[in-house]
Amino acid sequence: MNSQADLPSISGQRILVTGGAGFIGRNIARALVADNEVRILDDLSTGSRSTVPEGATLIEGDIRDDDALDRATADIDIIFHHAALISVEASIRDPERTHDINVTGTVKLLERARDEAARFVFASSAAVYGNPDTVPISEDAPLEPTSPYGLSKLAAERYVRLYADLYDLSAVALRYFNVYGPGQLDGDYSAVISVFVDQAAAGDPITVEGDGSQTRDFVHIDDVVQANLLAARAEQTGVFNVGTGESISILELAETVQDLSDSTPEITHTEARSGDIDRSCARIAKSESSLGFEPSVSIEDGLETILRSAE
């Protein structure tokens, strides 16, 4: 597993992490705060003040608010843009709000990055691919998002590319697969891990939806932090997958949690969820060769840390 010492080093920079009170952003901020001036812009809509790393400055505000942006981006060197409306279901209920936060919000940040000539690292998502024809999915696979959330991420990463092309902005987009790790709130991406771990910790049966044959590429938060630091230091523009390059079925995941937990919970099956993506797995050759990305946490080790922190 990555230790702070193994992470790509960045020092002496003024850094903004939007969404830095949330799951991924706070882990990026934590990795940087010792050697840099770190600001966090977060409206605390899902994030929490209590998890903001010590030493980072929290600017409580919306990424669409000009005054908050003035404070957050003055003299900034690097922007990690992670604030977003991240719920697929909420995006289907409210596409306009999703567009406003995820697309308009990103354009506002890109403008600030352009003013400051800052390096821009954007948190995109495998949701831009929709239901893939083939796996593993490479960056040039068809882009067919199936939700306003996925479409908003696609539009935002296209803006990132356009700013790089038109204005020579040093900007990159990372397409995360299913990120998991300790301290994650239940959400769309890796909720299944939190659910299984909570069930196992309580000694309850592990409930698998359908036959559990659907596959996912679960990437540990430490590896996502690594990808962000590499992307911030690199000069490349473009989009890069961030996954492990390996997938696991939901049934195998349940069995792994079962094996790792002391209580040996039974596995039961419930009705399949409609509209679920069957298979997902990142091809990471481009991230490996261009960024030097090297996922280091196996699903077994990652689950083990979560199980221990749930006990």
Say which residue the tokens 């567009």 belong to.
99
Between helix 23-32 and helix 221-233 the angle, nearest 10°, is 60
Binding to ligand NAD in span 26-55, by CB under 6 A = 41-47
d(CA 268, CA 280): 23
CB of 142 to ligand NAD, least distance (A): 18
Q: Quick one: which of 120, 159, 163, 189 contacts ligand NAD (CB under 6 A)? A: 189
CB of 95 to ligand NAD, least distance (A): 15
Of 186 and 300, CB closest to ligand NAD? 186
CB of 62 to ligand NAD, least distance (A): 4
d(CA 149, CA 102): 8
d(CA 63, CA 40): 11
d(CA 158, CA 130): 16
Binding to ligand NAD in span 1-30, by CB under 6 A = 19, 21-25
| Catalytic sites, residue numbers | 149
Does the protein bind ligand NAD through residue 101 (CB under 6 A)?
Answer: yes
d(CA 272, CA 294): 34
Say if CB 204 and CB 153 are below 8 A apart: no
Of 13 and 46, CB closest to ligand NAD? 46
Q: Quick one: which of 56, 59, 72, 86 contacts ligand NAD (CB under 6 A)? A: 86
Does the protein bind ligand NAD through residue 77 (CB under 6 A)?
Answer: no
Q: Count the neighbouring beta carbons within 10 Å of the beta carbon of residue 45.
A: 12
- By the criterion CB under 6 A, which residues form the site for ligand NAD? 19, 21-25, 41-47, 62-63, 82-86, 101, 105, 123, 125, 176, 178-179, 185, 189-190
